[in-house]
Amino acid sequence: MFSIFKKNPLKKLTQQYNAKLEEAMHAQRKGDIRSYSMLTAEAEQIENQIKVLEKAAKQ
């Protein structure tokens, strides 16, 4: 009955993923390659979480 009020975790993770990629892009443009690689790695972890949720939703 109250499932319409639940937040979608997939949407939240997608927003976090996009934000990390944007931060990584800005770090790369500034020449901070170390931060770029760390942010990209964090974005990849979030992407893996997204894939797991999508796979679970299909089943």
- Tens of pLDDT, residues 20-51: 999 999 999 999 999 999 999 999 999 999 99
* Structural domain includes residue 42: yes
Residue type, 11: K
Query: Considering its fold, how many domains does the chain have in total?
Result: 1
Write down the pLDDT at residue 28.
97
Q: Is the pTM of this model over 0.75?
A: yes
Q: CB within 8 A of 21, min separation 6: which ones? A: 39, 40, 43
Burial per residue of 17-55, b for 16 or more beta-carbon CB atoms within 10 angstroms, e otherwise: beebbebbeebeeeeeeeebeebbebbeebeeebeeeee
The verdict on residue 25 lying in a domain is: no
Query: Is there a domain that residue 37 lies in?
Result: yes
Residue 22 lies in a domain: no
Q: Which domain holds residue 46?
A: 33-58
Domain assignment present for 19: no
**pLDDT reported for residue 38:** 98
Is 45 inside a domain boundary?
Answer: yes
User: Considering the domain boundaries, does residue 21 fall inside one?
Assistant: no
Q: How confident is the model at residue 57 (pLDDT cuts 50, 70, 90)?
A: confident
